[in-house]
Structure 1
Amino acid sequence: MITCYLRYEIRLGKLADFEAYAAMWLELLPRFGGIHHGYFLPSEGASDVALAMFSFPSLAAYEQYRKDSAADPDVQKAIAFAKETGCFTRYDRSFFRPLFPKAA
């Protein structure tokens, strides 16, 4: 399994737009075989940082998602929404291999 960790910098005054954008991806990603672990929006502390995590069974499955989603009209709609609203200024993406407790 591979987990993608995203750190977004949200534009001032655009949290509601970012939340709408995030909600789109919560529904989109599972269509392509991923598991979305959610978005984590600002509460206390930094008001311009949001996080997200999602997983795929393998890096190959993630790469297939990237190819398949590129042609999806709903994905294009989400990307256009982010561009139109300017809800975030940048994001960083990192990949991790999760370690879970051993089964009893």
Structure 2
Amino acid sequence: MITCVVEYVIDPAKIEAFERFGRRWMELVDRHGGTHHGYFLPSEGASDKALALFSFPSLAAYEEYRTLFGKDPEFIEADRIRDESGCVLRYERTFMRPLLPDAP
């Protein structure tokens, strides 16, 4: 399994647009072979930081999902929420592998 961690710097005045953007991407990741673990939004402290975590069974599965960017109308529409609202100022993706507790 590979987990993508996306660190966002967001416009705190546009949090509602960011939430719409996040809800849409959670649906798309889950529908296209991934597992979305959610978006983590500011609560206390810095109000311009947000995170998203989602996993795919392999890097190859993630790369297959990525082929839809800029081509699939639903992916384009989801990115349009971000682009037209200006809710995301910048972001950075990191790929990690989870170390999970052993099942009992």
Q: Deviations over 1:30-82 (max 9, x none)?
A: 11100000000100010000101000000011001001344221110011111
8 Å Cα contact 1:2/1:56 also seen in 2: yes
Aligned equivalents of 1:36, 1:63: Cα separation in 2: 16
Q: Residue 5 of structure 1 aligns to which amino acid in structure 2?
A: V
- How many corresponding residue pairs? 104
Structure 2: give runs of 5+ residues left out of the alignment: none
Match of 2:48 in 1: 48
Contact between 2:68 and 2:75, CA under 8 Å: does it hold in 1? Answer: no
After superposition, the CA RMSD in angstroms is: 1.1
Q: How does 1:1-104 map to 2 (within 5 A)?
A: 1-104=1-104
Structure 1 runs (4+) greater than 3 angstroms displaced: none
Quote the Cα distance in structure 1 between the aligned partners of 2:53 and 2:44.
19
Length-normalised TM-score, structure 2: 0.94
Partner Cα distance (1:29, 1:69) in 2 = 12
Q: CA deviation at 1:102?
A: 2.2
Q: Tell me, what secondary structure is at the counterpart of 1:46? A: coil
Structure 1 CA distance for aligned equivalents of residues 100 and 11 of structure 2:
35
Instruction: Work out the percentage of aligned pairs sharing the same amino acid.
Output: 56
Instruction: Provide TM-score, normalisation by structure 1.
Output: 0.94
